[in-house]
Amino acid sequence: MKNIAVFASGSGSNFGAILEAIQCGELEVKVQLLVCDQPSAYAIQRAEEAGVPTFVFRAKDYSSKEEYEQKICALLTEKNIDLVVLAGYMRLIGPTLLTDFEGKIINIHPSMLPAFPGKDAIGQALAANVKESGVTVHYVDAGMDTGPIIAQQSVIVDEGETKESLQKKIHEVEHKLYPSVISQLLKGERRTESEKTSIN
């Protein structure tokens, strides 16, 4: 069975969806570690309830990003992590992790990238009055939501849509799409959208 580590900074709703998919038998992986940079995050409670080991840190307690990423890399290596899954982790991944786990770090973002990268993608979409937004799963590189796209699913933005209602729609898509993509990646059934297109 493949091993994953989940990185989160907040409530960890996608982390919860991953744990649920494992419990239902829809996702055959073992979550070996939760990495969290916010000691008060609800994701930590989710991990504890599920018996998932945690590494909780505050960036300000370290002299540099390199220092805490070296610590994280050591833990990931020790636990034989096959895939790093970012689930609401609000820090840019630095060169240390990107080098050691190149091509093995994925993220989920609440827009149809390259549209609306960065923070508050849902607010950005509403401000732009788009008729359609969505969800993107992508590999992580040194940029802000710029890595190769693995999968996307669109979400219709209805007239009078609020941030809360659109967020709810997007979460529903995320919670199904992310476990599915993780499963496909670890079985070697999926790489990126561009590779998939070239094969077809």
Mean pLDDT of the chain: 93
CA angle at 30 for the pair 146 and 184, rounded to the nearest 5°: 50
Quick: pLDDT tens for 24-51.
Answer: 999 999 999 999 999 999 999 999 999 9
Active site residue 171: no
Question: How much is the average pLDDT of 177-199?
Answer: 74
Catalytic site residue from 109, 138, 171, 175: 109
Tell me the pLDDT band of 73, cut-offs 50, 70 and 90: very high
Per domain, the residue ranges of the chain are: 2-199
Known binding residues are 12-14, 65, 90-93, 107
In whole angstroms, how large is the CA radius of gyration of the chain?
16
> What is the architecture of the domain spanning 2-199?
3-Layer(aba) Sandwich (3.40)
pTM, to two decimals: 0.92
Residues 6+ apart with CB under 8 A from 136: 108, 109, 111, 112, 113, 145, 149, 151, 152
Which phi and psi angles does 180 have, rounded to 5°? -65, -45
